């Protein structure tokens, strides 16, 4: 049974408020792995999993602040168009990986290209969305 400190292996499907699919671990048949209480998911999400066991399925809806949070205006950046190569010009809708000082990569979505200014949004693409989750618990390790 899932409780504080449990490691949970589970499949999930995420749907937007209009019913369209947003994400699924089933596409590549690679379930997610979560350590309860590690802060990687919201307390509201973890509360929905608490008490479930291997084989259980559950559907629940979370408000934006309990899912991926609300978009943060501080995560919107304006970059000079000259920072993009001629081989890979910035185009609206593109997701571009930006190298971080620690060597990791942070994806940003090109929201707008006006003149020499490119607007990059580093908010999670599902931020601000009310989401419905369908979960299936594969394994619980206590």
Question: Over the stretch 39-81, which tens digit does the pLDDT of each residue have?
Answer: 988 999 999 999 999 999 999 999 999 999 999 999 999 999 9
Q: Report yes or no on 56 lying in a domain.
A: yes
Same domain, 26 and 77: no
Same domain, 35 and 60: yes
Determine if the pTM surpasses 0.85: no
Tell whether the model's pLDDT for residue 22 goes beyond 80: yes
pLDDT band (50, 70, 90) for residue 97: confident
Same domain, 86 and 105: yes
47 token code pair: 């509360």
Domains: count for the chain:
2
d(CA 10, CA 17): 22
User: Structural domain of residue 28, as residue ranges?
Assistant: 7-69+126-141
CB 108 within 8 A of CB 96: yes
pLDDT band (50, 70, 90) for residue 85: confident
Q: Report yes or no on 23 lying in a domain.
A: yes
pLDDT of residue 125: 87
Q: Report yes or no on 115 lying in a domain.
A: yes
CATH number for 24:
3.10.50.40
- Whole-angstrom CA distances from 9 to 13, 23, 31, 37, 134 are 14, 17, 6, 14, 14
Same domain, 62 and 106: no
């Amino acid at each position: 049974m899932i409780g504080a400190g449990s490691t949970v292996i589970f499949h999930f499907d995420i749907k937007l408020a209009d019913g369209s699919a947003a994400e699924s671990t089933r596409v590549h048949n690679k379930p997610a792995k979560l350590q309860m209480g590690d802060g990687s998911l919201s307390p509201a999400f973890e509360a929905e999993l608490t008490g479930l066991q291997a084989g259980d399925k559950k559907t629940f809806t979370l408000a934006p602040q309990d899912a991926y949070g609300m978009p943060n205006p501080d995560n919107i950046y304006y970059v000079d168009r000259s920072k993009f190569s001629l081989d890979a010009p910035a185009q609206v809708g593109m997701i571009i990986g930006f190298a971080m000082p620690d060597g990791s990569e942070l994806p940003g979505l090109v929201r707008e290209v006006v003149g020499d200014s490119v607007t990059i949004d580093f908010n999670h693409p599902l931020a601000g969305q009310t989401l419905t989750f369908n979960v299936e618990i594969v394994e619980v390790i206590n």
